Amino acid sequence: MVTYLAKFTPHLSNLTHNLRQLLKKDSVWIWDVNTERDFELIKQAIMKSPCLKFFDKNKEVTVSVDASKNGLGSVLLQESQPVAHGFVSLTQTQQHYSQIEKELKAVIYGLEHFNHYTYGRIVTVQTDHKPILGLSKKPYDTIYPRLQCMLLRFNTYNIQLEYVPGKNLTIAYALSRAQSTTDKFDEVLGQEATVRINLLTQASPTKWEEIAKRTTDDPEMQDVLFHINNGWPEKRKTKIAEQPYWHCKEELYSTKERIICRGQRLVKYRRENQKEILINPEIPGRPWQKVACDFFCLKGKEHLLMIDYLSKYVELKPLNSTTAQSVVTVMKSIYATHGIPEDLVSDGGPPFNSNLMTNFFREWGIKHHDTPPHFPRANGQIERAVQTVKNYLTKAAEEEKICMLYCLTTGYNQQRTCHHQLNY
């Protein structure tokens, strides 16, 4: 919780220094007088009303930055009042940068750290390093390569650099020097500090009761709740449905309403209307052994689309009508090019349920597989291909470049459907 409130607690790294020493690897846990004092100071700091103001999108935005030998500091200001603070420690390599490189990095850090507020608007950047103003006006080819890279990152934002004497950059000056030597903690602190506390909402009692009821009705959650209260077995002895919770079992606990939580996060109940697990179709052994087909209409014109299950190769043919005789004629032309498939998957609607189509499949030795009605996911291969082809044809028509088969397949066969047959 302390790192969560870091944005509203300046100089928190100094207060948490002794506590963070206890988190280091192989450290001895000793809770002495100094640790207890820091702990009480931290509690008092996070209970005080913050001095930050709410962000107003209609007011001018100023980012004040500064760099010291150990860290970078920045503050987001509106009408000289702070909206948010930011600070980060420099690595050992970065500490050997020249001062102008550190100052440029401070500007970049301030802009990117407050990206939600600075991107897409005019931002005034205050710095106490005057050479930056002159450097930003020079041609890039006359600047040292490392500085070029830093200056190029400025181009993402619309900034106006302003020189302010260091004695007037009070907040940024202090933040840049209030750094700890624990880089890992500062990195985590920077990530946690991005959360906006004023966006938090508390769950309503009605929602809380609904969650409790859904948890009670979920057998999987009840099994997990039993293990939380009575202990977990070995992983190999847990049920498959419970194994996702086994690795974090030490973090799970239950409330008095018998709701399962992980840390400060709620473990969501399982949806009642879960979809069945899809069974992947068997991959055929050769191209054009198993195909799927479907119809679609584009700009009033009917088309037949056929796709190979192995290579994902598609064949697209325009149709004068979707009668059985018309479809059989088109299929024969496709099979004359690629061969006769062993299996064909389609929906069970017309014309595939006609006697003519049934006799055609029997005479040609094709096994016809119907998909369940009102369940297009059963033939997802062709459904996905239909969407892709329709998007291609629509975009091609918008660009006045009528292309049909050649934009989707290889053009080795010149006796394919011609563009004029589309009738667009």
What's the pLDDT tens digit per position in 277-330?
Answer: 667 778 899 999 999 999 999 888 899 999 999 999 999 999 988 999 999 999
Distances (CA, A) of 354 to 118, 324, 358, 424: 65, 7, 6, 30
Note the pLDDT tens digit of each residue in 77-135.
888 878 888 888 888 888 888 888 899 999 999 999 999 899 989 999 999 888 888 88
CA 281 to chain centroid, in Å, comes to 29
Is residue 188 within 8 Å of residue 3, measured between CB atoms? Answer: yes
Q: What is the DSSP code (8-state) at residue 241?
A: G
- Asked if residues 301 and 422 have their Cβ atoms less than 8 Å apart, the reply is yes
Q: How many CB atoms lie within 10 A of CB 154?
A: 17
Q: How many helices (H) and strands (E) does the chain have?
A: 15, 13
Task: Give Cα 277 to chain centroid, integer Å.
Answer: 24
The answer on pLDDT for 64 being more than 70 is: yes
Percentage of residues of the chain with pLDDT beyond 70: 76
Place of tokens 């006796």: 415
Per-residue tokens: 361: 């499949």
Work out the mean pLDDT of the chain and round it to a whole number. 78
- pTM for the model stands at 0.35
In 3D, which of 291, 311, 292, 322 has the Cα closest to residue 410? 311
Residue 246 pLDDT: 79
Class of residue 338 by CB neighbours under 10 A (exposed 0-12, middle 13-18, buried 19+): middle
Q: Which residues contact 238 (CB under 8 A, 6 or more apart)?
A: 227, 232, 246
| Statement: residue 261 has pLDDT above 60 | yes
Residues facing 211 on adjacent strands: none
